[in-house]
Amino acid sequence: MIVNEKEVKEYLTKSKIGEYAINPYIGCPHKCKYCYASFMKRFTNHSEEWGEFIDIKKTTNKINLERIKGKNVFMATVTDCYNPYEAKYKITRHILEQLVNCDCRLQISTKSKLILRDLDLLKKMKNVSVAISINTLDETFKNDMDRASSIKERLNTLKILHDNGIYTILFMSPIFIGITDWKKIIEVSKSYVNEYWFEDLNLRGAYKYDILKYIETKYPKLYFLYEEIYIKRNKNKLFKMDSEIKNYCDDNKINYSDYFHHEEVINKKENKILGKNNA
């Protein structure tokens, strides 16, 4: 892992999803095979493979709390603010210490149990929600896809957060059709999840064919389905699954927000406010 410290003007930036974003790091050692954020390499001049570098952002400037008063702040959009290097550098914790008394709506998305370290700060915030990404209950599939916390650890993290009064979101993303057992994930977690987010697999850029090659090798019976959807662009099966998920949630009174089709998320004005908690 190539680690560098980088001076930045500030942590806060405008965002297409939410209203403001805070990304304490550039790059992410979780190295998710499907990570859309790998496009960041085009802007950061990194020649290293995505997942093999991380820049530690540092600044002496405080976050302008007036600027985000009453606004939605999403942490983080193109990295995981609780990647393993956070344990050492504590950039995320330093940011949360500034936001404790801020009158903003803060949403944190992560795949790491490390967020529990900051439970003391989260419990002091009056409008915070935490989304944990889970798209499988199969640890082998998870290990094939990323280097983040285990599924068991992520579910336990959701439970502990919920038990401590934090608004919990299970972010089911990306959903691999034929592989992600979305119904079972809901059933095992619904007692400690306040809301579910759903998003399909968005294949673009260099990793598209890496994922398709993985499917062809590990799930050969599903390859033609993926070819139909992601090469021939026939998304009828995805639309059908989307409807099944929404109908199931409606019938079972499951609280959810549907961001299923990735390309539509950033184009809808209402997605400046993410989730039922911030509506």
For residues 150 and 157, give the distance between their C-alpha atoms in angstroms, rounded to a whole number.
Answer: 10
Q: Answer for the pair 189, 253: CB distance below 8 angstroms, yes or no.
A: no
Backbone CA torsion sign across 37, 139, 246, 209: positive
Mean pLDDT across 122-129: 95
Q: Are strands 20-22 and 12-14 parallel, antiparallel or unpaired?
A: antiparallel
Q: Answer for the pair 57, 124: CB distance below 8 angstroms, yes or no.
A: no
More confidently predicted of 272 and 184: 184
Distances (CA, A) of 93 to 66, 90, 148, 189: 20, 5, 19, 27
69: number of Cβ within 10 Å: 10
Residue 237 lies in a domain: no
Residue 94 lies in a domain: yes
Write the DSSP symbol of residue 238: H
For residues 107 and 75, give the distance between their C-alpha atoms in angstroms, rounded to a whole number.
Answer: 6
- Is pLDDT above 80 for 228? yes
Q: Which amino acid type is present at position 40?
A: M
pLDDT tens per residue across span 153-205:
999 999 999 999 999 999 999 999 999 999 999 999 999 999 999 999 988 87
More confidently predicted of 221 and 262: 221
Q: Answer for the pair 197, 169: CB distance below 8 angstroms, yes or no.
A: yes
Residue 218 lies in a domain: no
Q: Answer for the pair 26, 36: CB distance below 8 angstroms, yes or no.
A: no
What per-residue confidence (pLDDT) applies to 15? 87
- Is pLDDT above 90 for 236? yes
* DSSP character string of 49-85: PTTSEEEEEE-SSPP-TTTTTT-EEEE-SSS-TTSTT
Residue 36 lies in a domain: yes
pLDDT tens per residue across span 67-93:
999 999 999 888 999 999 999 999 999
Mean pLDDT across 43-72: 88
Q: How confident is the model at residue 52 (pLDDT cuts 50, 70, 90)?
A: confident
Number of domains in the chain: 1
For residues 231 and 213, give the distance between their C-alpha atoms in angstroms, rounded to a whole number.
Answer: 12
Q: Are strands 256-258 and 195-200 parallel, antiparallel or unpaired?
A: parallel
Q: Answer for the pair 64, 14: CB distance below 8 angstroms, yes or no.
A: no
Q: What CATH number corresponds to the domain at position 101? A: 3.20.20
Write the DSSP symbol of residue 30: T
Residue 213 lies in a domain: no
Domain membership of residue 52 as a residue range: 2-202+253-274
Angle (CA) 13 206 219, round 5°: 115
Residue 64 lies in a domain: yes
Q: How confident is the model at residue 261 (pLDDT cuts 50, 70, 90)?
A: low
- Is pLDDT above 80 for 42? no
